[in-house]
Amino acid sequence: MAEEADADGFIETLNVLLGPDNGEGLVQIETGAVAYLEQVVGATNVQARPRVIVAGHPSVHLSAQLTSSGISYRTEQYLLFSAGVAYTVTFSFGESAPQQGREALAESVLATWTWD
């Protein structure tokens, strides 16, 4: 990911948060995550994207647009589940980064994911 701000003034980031897997199905998780991003986080243009297999496990994939400190940016978020742990993997990009490029970069990183 970038070490400097892009043309939009945004520094691309990758964040991974861990929490307990509550055992819900992917459809329930996806629906709840979309609602959370829209209603709690204030994201717009939230879309459930095609699921991706990460290290042999299906993941939920969401795209969204957010604004922080007056800077608009886009995220590709993947929700992964293994051995009772939920991983929220969020890639953040400047506003001008195209969907296809965002997904290609995120999924190239996820292709290296392993469960230890």
pLDDT of residue 116: 78
| Residue 66 banded pLDDT, cuts 50, 70, 90 | very high
Judged against a pLDDT cut of 80, whether residue 64 lies above it is answered with yes
pLDDT tens digit sequence for 10-55? 889 999 999 999 899 999 999 999 999 999 999 999 999 999 999 9
What is the distance in angstroms between the CA of the first residue and the CA of the last residue of the chain?
24
80-83 long-range contacts, Cβ below 8 Å, gap at least 24? 80/54, 80/55, 80/113, 81/21, 81/57, 82/21, 82/55, 82/57, 82/115, 83/115
| Residue 70 banded pLDDT, cuts 50, 70, 90 | confident
Q: Residues 79, 20: contact at Cβ < 8 Å?
A: no
pLDDT of residue 1: 46
Write down all domains in the chain, each with its CATH number in brackets: 13-110 (3.40.1000.10)
Q: What percentage of the chain carries pLDDT values higher than 90? A: 81
SS3 75: strand
